[in-house]
């Protein structure tokens, strides 16, 4: 039986730059960083959330044919792909801290039916939601947001 989600992918056009973005700007920690026969396998995660890791994978990495690598790189750099949602207990405060570190926000914190949300782009162009749910509320995917 499946018990948990353990690994997700962050697509990157420059693995070292994305590792720096995730650790220096977002405050993630490196979980794994090893050489896999000339290819770097690196994962990061939110401190204290040990059960989930994010693999930073190159858009032109192993297993990618040239056409697929080009298409994926184009989609990532255009900002078409969303990387995920990060939960916070202080959206306004984290927004200010991240903005001061040079993170590009495309939406300032705004009230939503599910809480407060700000949206930023990572160093590759992918967008992330920074979300603070209402106190006592959990994000309920069965409820309509509008």
120, containing H or E segment: strand 115-121
Q: Per residue in 57-108, pLDDT tens? A: 999 998 899 999 999 999 999 988 887 999 999 999 999 999 999 999 999 9
pLDDT at 143: 53
Q: Is 50 exceeded by the pLDDT of residue 13? A: yes
- What is the Cα Rg of the chain in Å? 16
* Domains present along the chain, CATH in parentheses: 1-78 (3.10.180.10), 79-146 (3.10.180.10)
Q: Is 80 exceeded by the pLDDT of residue 144? A: no
Q: Per residue in 23-57, pLDDT tens? A: 999 999 999 999 998 899 999 999 999 999 999 99
The residues that bridge with 57 in the sheet, in sequence order, are 11
106, containing H or E segment: strand 104-112
Which pTM value belongs to this model? Answer: 0.87
User: Is residue 145 classed exposed, middle or buried when 0-12, 13-18 and 19+ CB atoms within 10 A define those classes?
Assistant: exposed
* Confidence at 146, pLDDT banded by 50, 70, 90: very low
pLDDT at 63: 86
């Amino acid at each position: 039986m499946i018990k948990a989600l353990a690994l997700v992918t962050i697509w990157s056009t420059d693995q070292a730059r994305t590792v720096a973005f995730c650790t220096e700007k977002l405050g993630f920690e490196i979980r794994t960083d090893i050489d896999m026969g000339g290819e770097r396998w690196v994962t990061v995660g939110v401190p204290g959330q040990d059960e989930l890791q994010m693999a930073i994978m190159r858009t032109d990495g192993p297993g990618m044919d040239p056409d697929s690598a080009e298409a994926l790189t184009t989609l990532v750099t255009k900002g078409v792909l969303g990387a995920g949602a990060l939960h916070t207990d202080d959206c306004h405060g984290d927004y200010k801290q991240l903005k001061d570190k040079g993170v590009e926000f495309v939406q300032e914190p705004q009230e939503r039916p599910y809480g407060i949300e700000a949206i930023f782009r990572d160093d590759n162009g992918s967008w992330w939601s920074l979300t603070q749910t209402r106190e006592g509320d959990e994000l309920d995917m069965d409820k309509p947001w509008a």
